[in-house]
Chains A and B, each alone.
Chain A
């Protein structure tokens, strides 16, 4: 298998052409089992690199010592969280997953619009749960605006974006992004939906911001979760990986009841629900996976 350009940053990361220490494959499997996030074989070097950075920080001598930290040490859960931070670092950007956007615009929206077409109030409610610094929320808003003269003509779109971290919410509200966050955004979209702030940064235009309400929310706050009703779509990317099994399961149960019948729940592109909820139907779209709360008409509940 060919491997893309490697950006090894630690002495523990494998050099080009070198086989990867099998222990990192074990770490990959552990991370999947506990957190539900999967690293492809071709991206295993990223996992090795992330482990390398943690080993350096902990001043460990080899991968076996690190494996012990992750499995036998009293602080193993905290270390797993630290590793996850390293693994998911820099993952966020606008328009990160085109297949997810395609699934949304080409398959899901037409389905929801058809399903709700007889309702008097044509309203679409989307929740970006764990919105971090807003990249996903603005991606959704831009795509909804793109549909506003087509499929969503006459519809009201409401995007609710929440995060636990106040500072993230403030950054998200500002909507100012640099090259790195905009690396997957086309020039066309940059011109249409952003305004220049300075030489290096762009700010989301007010008409995009208008679609979104940012606020702070703890997904583990059961009483507040009960109020997040009537969602058509929920996006929760790389957030549940930090939760233990029981909390994860509780949050997912909330998501299921927060969704309308016929609604969809999206995780991050490498994440799995790990069979924590058997009411959701796993559905595949070209290049994307989602979880579906069957519509009443489908007879699949």
Chain B
């Protein structure tokens, strides 16, 4: 990417008036997710969400959907946490927050498809990290959730260019990032980074957003970036992709990201990747239903 393109991206992202601010509870929620024990988090989540009635109401509506099969609808966020567990409520809240930040009408990419992939990736990152000792599973979840925010930026800031990239990807059945590069000269990684810097996200999360397709270029958080890279691939291969067929063969163990992660976590060698893949399939239905409840439609699986 040339310096002038980089400058254009930065400039456009800095001055987006059309992009609404993220709900105030989002960043504290993310911080909470990464830094505290479960007991503290329940109280903090309840306190934070009580500041934003819209988010709280939406969260309760989703919690009460048939997806979770609760006999009685929760009347409060705390009630929802007790019935559904903190992790599910956090996932619902983060989805609601980010859903609010981006107006549905301005999407080039179907928001249901986008969130399905992002939440799926977040969940896979966490499950993956849980298999590795000394990996921060909550940080991995957050990184997975946000890794593709550049697509949202492209939808809002470069709608025409991004529509062309999307058409090319669907038509040629190639990865969306490759299509962006071919038709726009830059990708969601660069625009995502610009937004992440504007939002002042943590450095390692910015690194993930910027380098999850080129892990070797990451300087600050290579193992985390590698973990997101591998989880992203797995999601795209197991029904949590971008809504079209990707003509792609993925050899995870031969991927440079695998070697990077292995250097830090020798126990990766013992992970049964096939079983892990099957277990991921179990979560696909729940993720689809969660996202459909928040955004109100069911897209084709891919």
Interface residues of A (CB under 8 A from B): 1-2, 32, 38, 40-42, 102, 106-108, 111, 270, 272-275, 281-287, 289, 292, 300
Judge whether B266 is part of the interface by a CB distance below 8 angstroms. no
Q: Which of B233, B248, B285 contacts A42 (CB 8 A)?
A: B285
Docked-complex contact A284 and B253, CB < 8 angstroms: no
Query: Closest 10 A-B residue pairs measured CB to CB?
Result: A272-B274, A284-B237, A284-B250, A41-B282, A38-B278, A283-B251, A106-B247, A40-B282, A283-B249, A281-B251
Judge whether B185 is part of the interface by a CB distance below 8 angstroms. no
Q: List, in ascending order, chain A residues with CB within 8 A of B251's CB.
A: 281-284, 292, 300
Docked-complex contact B289 and A2, CB < 8 angstroms: yes
User: A38-B278, A286-B241, A289-B277 are known contacts. Are A281 and B272 too (CB-CB below 8 A)?
Assistant: no
* Minimum Cβ distance to chain A for residue B282 (Å): 4
Judge whether B254 is part of the interface by a CB distance below 8 angstroms. yes
Q: List, in ascending order, chain B residues with CB within 8 A of A284's CB.
A: 233-234, 237-238, 249-252, 277
Docked-complex contact A286 and B278, CB < 8 angstroms: no
Interface residues on B, range: 20 to 34
Query: Which residue of chain B lies nearest to A272 when distances are taken between CB atoms in the complex?
Result: B274
Q: Which of B69, B245, B252, B285 contacts A282 (CB 8 A)?
A: B252
Complex CA–CA separation, A300 to B233 (angstroms) = 20
23 cross-chain CB contacts under 8 A: A2-B67, A40-B281, A41-B282, A106-B245, A107-B248, A107-B249, A108-B249, A111-B249, A270-B278, A272-B275, A274-B274, A281-B254, A282-B273, A283-B249, A283-B250, A284-B234, A284-B237, A284-B251, A285-B237, A285-B250, A289-B277, A292-B251, A300-B251
Contacting A at CB under 8 A, from B268-302, are 272-275, 277-278, 281-282, 285-286, 289, 302
Q: List, in ascending order, chain A residues with CB within 8 A of B239's CB.
A: 286-287
Complex CA–CA separation, A275 to B274 (angstroms) = 9
* Minimum Cβ distance to chain B for residue A7 (Å): 19
Judge whether B52 is part of the interface by a CB distance below 8 angstroms. no
Docked-complex contact B254 and A285, CB < 8 angstroms: no
Complex CA–CA separation, A21 to B238 (angstroms) = 28
Query: Which residue of chain A lies nearest to B282 when distances are taken between CB atoms in the complex?
Result: A41
Complex CA–CA separation, A284 to B239 (angstroms) = 12
Judge whether B66 is part of the interface by a CB distance below 8 angstroms. yes
Query: Which residue of chain B lies nearest to A273 when distances are taken between CB atoms in the complex?
Result: B274
Complex CA–CA separation, A106 to B302 (angstroms) = 15
Complex CA–CA separation, A208 to B75 (angstroms) = 62
Docked-complex contact A1 and B286, CB < 8 angstroms: yes
Docked-complex contact B274 and A282, CB < 8 angstroms: yes
* Minimum Cβ distance to chain A for residue B127 (Å): 13
Interface residues of B (CB under 8 A from A): 66-67, 69, 173, 233-234, 236-239, 241, 245-254, 272-275, 277-278, 281-282, 285-286, 289, 302
Complex CA–CA separation, A87 to B239 (angstroms) = 24
Q: List, in ascending order, chain A residues with CB within 8 A of B285's CB.
A: 1-2, 42
Docked-complex contact A102 and B250, CB < 8 angstroms: no
Q: List, in ascending order, chain B residues with CB within 8 A of A272's CB.
A: 272, 274-275, 278
Docked-complex contact B278 and A40, CB < 8 angstroms: yes
* Minimum Cβ distance to chain A for residue B299 (Å): 15
Docked-complex contact B245 and A102, CB < 8 angstroms: yes
User: A1-B286, A2-B67, A287-B239 are known contacts. Are A38 and B275 too (CB-CB below 8 A)?
Assistant: yes
Complex CA–CA separation, A286 to B286 (angstroms) = 19
* Minimum Cβ distance to chain B for residue A6 (Å): 14
Docked-complex contact B236 and A286, CB < 8 angstroms: yes
Complex CA–CA separation, A274 to B234 (angstroms) = 18
* Minimum Cβ distance to chain B for residue A130 (Å): 19
Docked-complex contact B253 and A281, CB < 8 angstroms: yes
Query: Which residue of chain A lies nearest to B173 when distances are taken between CB atoms in the complex?
Result: A106
Query: Which residue of chain A lies nearest to B250 when distances are taken between CB atoms in the complex?
Result: A284
Q: List, in ascending order, chain B residues with CB within 8 A of A2's CB.
A: 66-67, 69, 285, 289
* Minimum Cβ distance to chain B for residue A281 (Å): 5
Complex CA–CA separation, A10 to B35 (angstroms) = 49
Additional A-B contacts beyond A282-B252, A300-B254 (18; CB < 8 A): A1-B285, A32-B275, A38-B274, A38-B275, A40-B278, A106-B173, A272-B274, A281-B254, A282-B251, A282-B273, A282-B274, A284-B234, A284-B238, A285-B248, A285-B250, A286-B248, A289-B274, A292-B249
Docked-complex contact A286 and B254, CB < 8 angstroms: no
Docked-complex contact B272 and A275, CB < 8 angstroms: yes
Query: Which residue of chain A lies nearest to B246 when distances are taken between CB atoms in the complex?
Result: A286
Complex CA–CA separation, A283 to B274 (angstroms) = 10
- Among A32, A108, A273, find the residue whose CB has the most chain B CB atoms closer than 10 A: A32
Q: List, in ascending order, chain A residues with CB within 8 A of B253's CB.
A: 281-282
Docked-complex contact B274 and A107, CB < 8 angstroms: no
Q: List, in ascending order, chain B residues with CB within 8 A of A107's CB.
A: 247-249
Q: List, in ascending order, chain A residues with CB within 8 A of B286's CB.
A: 1
* Minimum Cβ distance to chain B for residue A35 (Å): 13
* Minimum Cβ distance to chain A for residue B109 (Å): 18
Q: List, in ascending order, chain A residues with CB within 8 A of B173's CB.
A: 106
Complex CA–CA separation, A285 to B67 (angstroms) = 29
Q: List, in ascending order, chain A residues with CB within 8 A of B272's CB.
A: 272, 274-275
Complex CA–CA separation, A300 to B256 (angstroms) = 13
* Minimum Cβ distance to chain B for residue A129 (Å): 19
